[in-house]
Structure 1
Amino acid sequence: MSSPDPRSPDAGERIALVFADPESGEGDREYSAERLDALANGLAAALAERGVRAGRRVALMSSNRPEFVVAVRAVWKLGAAVVLLSPAWKRTEVAHALEITEPAHAVGDHPVLAGLMPMLHLDEPVEPVEPVAADYKDPDPDADAVLVFSSGTTGMPKAVRHTHGSFAAAVRHWRDALALTARDRIQITTPPSHILGLLNIVTALDTGAWLRLHRRFDLDRMLHHIQADRITVEMAVAPIALALANHPGLESYDLSSLRFIMWGATPVTPSVAETVTRRTGVGWVPAYGASELPVITCNPLDGARLDSAGRAVPGVTLRTVSLETGEPLGPGEVGEIQARAESLMAGYLPDEATAEAFADGWYRTGDVGRIDADGWLTLTDRSKEMIKVRGFQVAPAEIEGVLHGHPGVADCAVFGVPDEADGEAIVAAVTAQGAPPDPAELIAYVGERLAGYKRPRRVVVVPEIPRLPSGKVLRRVLKERHGRATDH
């Protein structure tokens, strides 16, 4: 959505968000909080004319850009819910997401969404409306605010429903855990359609922190802007952490403005974190969350530990339960991590998936670990079969469904193996239908049909897929036999 002079806030207005697209050759576009609000009012008026009302759902599929932020705020002004679709998704994935969430309207900049339903394009002109001229009521805290996607172990992604109340609680938890204030300066390189990206954006804007939004991740641009913008808090997932540790010119950047680097989405690899700290002097703050419960634990800013995901943030209660009986366990005993919080999701779509996510009112994270007597959480495993790649949850069954459609595959099973860069790497074991299929062809076959992060790193052709008499795949056996990310 274009608007007059978006890079020139009025005199005296504090800059809230900065954006530059290196491919455009243009300089920074700067937005004050007032400007973002005026643009959101204008887009809200345009959406209202199209019939968006409180309680409706609006699909949003967009690249990283300020208009994404404006669109989310516009939908919320109307009391509607935004359905966040990953721009990495292919048509099949988007069609499934639309089927289960049933949005009546769409806004974005992606041709896949535009090909599936009428879409208001983010490049269409929208006239800003000054905040004083607009009268939008605060949304109902119990009404849906955002639907993000988390893959289920049985196949295609599920939609996670957060209300305005639960997401606002998550924002408060994140702001308090990281001690963010209006003096902080952060940058976002991760996709805003992911819960962490959206949480970072909303928390920064609500706190009054200065925010730079990047079109896409580029390590040297990230380091340059830490130095040039005097960034105070940097967010990192495993691939970014590893890239920092391996960067040959890391010492040439002045990173002294950083208070800490937050590590989330995948467990910390101590050797990687220690290498970055040794080379830069900047420490790490590990945290742990999920799409269903965005902020679960965080390390203290002073005295963070690399061997723990931290303690439960205020407002979140944790327990461990036996994997066999479901009975609560004592300190130090290993079991499934369960949680209660006001920031917990309202449920899933399809709704029938919700019941199994809870036990006596506690959210079942599916993660396995222990909580010591002082409340420190150590994650050891996952009881669910999800594969976590660069912070994204990947369902083996979804990839298996694609591979079963290849004429050269008789049977298959997908599993994850530890990977220093991505957290986990996807490996597919297949049995042949006729002549053995080419592994590279199968990897490309999946890549053509699913998002890039769901593409197997490696395909191995095996004589048979080990299964129980019930038909359940013995993924543990496959991991023992083929548990590496690449061939050696």
Structure 2
Amino acid sequence: MTDRPWLSAYPPGVPADIDPSQYASLVELMEQAFRDYASRTAYSFMGKEVSYAQTDAESRQMAAYLQSLGLAKGDRVAIMMPNVPQYPVVVAAILRAGFVVVNVNPLYTPRELEHQLKDSGAKAIIIIENFAATLQACIASTPVQHVVLATMGDRMGFLKGMIINYVVRNVKKLVPTFSLPGAVRYNDALARGARAPFQKPVITPDDIALLQYTGGTTGVSKGAVLLHRNIIANVLQSQAWNAPVMSKVPQGEQPTAVCALPLYHIFAFTVNMMLSMRTGGKTILIPNPRDLPAVLKELSKQTFHSFPAVNTLFNGLANHPDFNTVNWKNLKCSLGGGMAVQGAVAKLWLEKTGCPIVEGYGLSETSPSASCNPVTSKEFTGTIGVPIPSTYMKLVDDDGREVLLKGHPGEIAIKGPQVMAGYWQRPDETAKVMTEDGYFKTGDIGIIDDNGFFKIVDRKKDMVLVSGFNVYPNEVEDVVAGMAGVLECAVVGVPDEKTGEAVKLVIVKKDPSLTEAQVKEFCNANLTGYKRPRVIEFRDSLPKTPVGKILRRELRDKK
């Protein structure tokens, strides 16, 4: 597909293409921000504000410390922390020193952590002490030689830091006992780095910036190799895409984004941290998005303009009794990604904030953003929008041929400057997902309309086959989520003697009096026979990843 029918859907001022060559590396992008916005606040965390100048100085010190360990250019350094001010400092340090960032989910088990550290070949890890016991359990089997130990209160000032650490360790008991001989405390590493020389390496656009491990929903977790130019491209694409609404932030007001998604996730890494660097914005760091009262309490003190989140977070906040303690009037951009946004959630969010959720789409392998609805949209489309600048998307069949029949589903394939270089040391896996003409096959099944808007009908493996008919869980979930009394729901396929598979529906109630009979009646009225759930189950909660994606496979495993 060489023509781009979707360009006609672009709002005025959004370019068809961006120029990722304006920076040689992410380091160049960050150092420009450190110069241009030195006096501005870069991060806000638990009442503490950290300036761009401070982020610059501390990341340079940490970069010098890491170089003093004898690591060579291109060596991998893992980060295992929640959203704390040390995270962006450490990212900047690793990249400035010429090393590769390996983002690690802090909630990993020892088995999962061991796999990622071994697979990436990480020689050093910077970890918050809350998860040090996990590292202790597996470090002997990994190539890690150097450990830097951070705490929640490290950069909060002496007294406040002591109080925070006391509460985390002794009141909330969030730090299991651990032993990591030879580990260096974060503040000590900074102090050593301040005394050490810093050698500025030559970094090119084709150098690796990070290994971003995929969630492993399709098998073993693999590292997507993201080059400096991949992330730069996606930052510039995101900035261009958001410009029609972010340009409306009043003069003199610093553009401010809520970072409730974890920074180890590529969505927050690029669209929060790196995009804010590019625009001189402030990022409000939320360490635990599952603690909704704490999130709302923090936001009630802040003015903010941009809020990237997942459907489950939008839904949880909009249904929370404290929702109206926050001033949502300055919100210009609510970006939904990571999972399908449900129509009922989008409707409620718009009613309550006046700012529509704009659904986008992407993957770790695409840095992540590939498509998005125009930010000027006023209504929920139920689509993943159109490819963003410099991006091409098409549908392909199982043989890799383009699906040209309108309305016919095919696997979504993506080409653009944000697409990864491949999977880390897995040429066989890379070959499976890359086409000869440079498209990345996503594993998501979609359709495209005449205007170039793509709609996901599901992941290849999540599809339920009922008597030969394809049932897409997203569709059934979207219908049921619109029912009064339903807070959340998820659909999976379960084995069935008669039909091969049957649809199983799991519901979290908003109204405790909701019954199975009412759900069946609603489904009968809204879904054709083969799409109706055969099994209906009520639960107190749905299993989710730390990012908020519903873990369908866990629902499938438990009959």
Give the aligned partner of residue 404 of structure 1: none
Does the CA contact (< 8 Å) of 1:57 and 1:102 recur in 2?
Answer: yes
How does 1:425-436 map onto structure 2 within 5 Å? none
1:44 is the counterpart of 2:69? no
Helix, strand or coil: the match of 2:365? coil
Give the aligned partner of residue 159 of structure 1: 223
Give the aligned partner of residue 372 of structure 2: 298
How far off is 1:164 after superposition?
A: 0.9
Match of 1:257 among 305, 309, 330: 330
Distance 1:145 1:324, change over 3 A: closer
Match of 1:121 among 149, 155, 168: 149
Does the CA contact (< 8 Å) of 1:237 and 1:266 recur in 2?
Answer: yes
Match of 1:344 among 407, 419, 431: 419
Distance 1:313 1:215, change over 3 A: same
Does the CA contact (< 8 Å) of 1:320 and 1:335 recur in 2?
Answer: yes
Give the aligned partner of residue 282 of structure 1: 355
Match of 1:379 among 412, 436, 456: 456
For residues 60-107 of structure 1, give each alpha carbon's deviation from its aligned partner in whole angstroms, at most 9, with x where no partner exists: 211221111111111100111011110010000011112211112222
Aligned residue pairs total 396
Distance 1:372 1:81, change over 3 A: same
Once residues 39 and 135 of structure 2 are traced to their aligned partners in structure 1, the CA distance between those partners, rounded to angstroms, is: 36
Distance 1:273 1:322, change over 3 A: same
How far off is 1:196 after superposition?
A: 1.0
User: Relative to total residues, which structure has the larger helix share, 1 or 2?
Assistant: 2
How does 1:212-223 map onto structure 2 within 5 Å? 212-217=284-289, 218-223=291-296
Once residues 381 and 154 of structure 1 are traced to their aligned partners in structure 2, the CA distance between those partners, rounded to angstroms, is: 14
Helix, strand or coil: the match of 1:178? helix
Does the CA contact (< 8 Å) of 1:174 and 1:295 recur in 2?
Answer: yes
How far off is 1:320 after superposition?
A: 1.0
Q: 2:431 is aligned with what amino acid?
A: A
Helix, strand or coil: the match of 1:177? helix
Once residues 205 and 251 of structure 1 are traced to their aligned partners in structure 2, the CA distance between those partners, rounded to angstroms, is: 30
How far off is 1:254 after superposition?
A: 2.2
Does the CA contact (< 8 Å) of 2:445 and 2:460 recur in 1?
Answer: yes
Q: 2:383 is aligned with what amino acid?
A: S
1:62 is the counterpart of 2:138? no
How far off is 1:426 after superposition?
A: 7.6
Give the aligned partner of residue 123 of structure 2: 104
Does the CA contact (< 8 Å) of 1:337 and 1:369 recur in 2?
Answer: yes
How far off is 1:330 after superposition?
A: 4.2
Distance 1:106 1:356, change over 3 A: same
Distance 1:376 1:194, change over 3 A: same
Q: 2:186 is aligned with what amino acid?
A: E
Q: 1:355 is aligned with what amino acid?
A: A
How far off is 1:44 after superposition?
A: 0.6
For residues 403-459 of structure 1, give each alpha carbon's deviation from its aligned partner in whole angstroms, at most 9, with x where no partner exists: xxxxxxxxxxxx999595778578998xxxxxxxxxxxxxxxxxxxxxxxxxxxxxx
1:210 is the counterpart of 2:291? no
Once residues 252 and 63 of structure 1 are traced to their aligned partners in structure 2, the CA distance between those partners, rounded to angstroms, is: 25
Distance 1:223 1:157, change over 3 A: same
Does the CA contact (< 8 Å) of 1:149 and 1:159 recur in 2?
Answer: yes
How does 1:318-357 map onto structure 2 within 5 Å? 318-323=393-398, 326-351=401-426, 352-357=428-433
Does the CA contact (< 8 Å) of 2:38 and 2:51 recur in 1?
Answer: no
Q: Which runs of 5+ in 1 are unaligned?
A: 1-10, 21-27, 388-414, 430-476
Does the CA contact (< 8 Å) of 2:407 and 2:447 recur in 1?
Answer: yes
Q: Which runs of 4+ in 1 moved over 4 A?
A: 415-429, 477-488
Helix, strand or coil: the match of 2:191? coil
How far off is 1:481 after superposition?
A: 5.4
How far off is 1:258 after superposition?
A: 0.7
Q: Which moved more, 1:140-149 or 1:328-337?
A: 328-337
Once residues 202 and 285 of structure 2 are traced to their aligned partners in structure 1, the CA distance between those partners, rounded to angstroms, is: 26
Helix, strand or coil: the match of 1:92? helix
Q: Percent identity?
A: 27
Once residues 376 and 488 of structure 2 are traced to their aligned partners in structure 1, the CA distance between those partners, rounded to angstroms, is: 27
Match of 1:358 among 409, 434, 437: 434
- C-alpha RMSD over aligned residues: 3.2
Give the aligned partner of residue 186 of structure 1: 257
Give the aligned partner of residue 198 of structure 1: 269
How far off is 1:295 after superposition?
A: 0.7
Match of 1:17 among 43, 61, 75: 43
Q: 1:156 is aligned with what amino acid?
A: V
Helix, strand or coil: the match of 1:107? strand
Give the aligned partner of residue 209 of structure 2: 145
Give the aligned partner of residue 27 of structure 2: none
Does the CA contact (< 8 Å) of 1:162 and 1:345 recur in 2?
Answer: yes
TM norm structure 2:
0.65
For residues 320-353 of structure 1, give each alpha carbon's deviation from its aligned partner in whole angstroms, at most 9, with x where no partner exists: 1234663342443321110101111111134121
For residues 32-78 of structure 1, give each alpha carbon's deviation from its aligned partner in whole angstroms, at most 9, with x where no partner exists: 11110110010011100112221111122112211111111111001
Q: Which runs of 5+ in 2 are unaligned?
A: 1-36, 151-184, 248-252, 465-472, 482-486, 496-529, 541-558
Helix, strand or coil: the match of 2:53? helix
Once residues 53 and 325 of structure 1 are traced to their aligned partners in structure 2, the CA distance between those partners, rounded to angstroms, is: 40
Distance 1:251 1:164, change over 3 A: same
How far off is 1:195 after superposition?
A: 0.8
Helix, strand or coil: the match of 1:231? coil
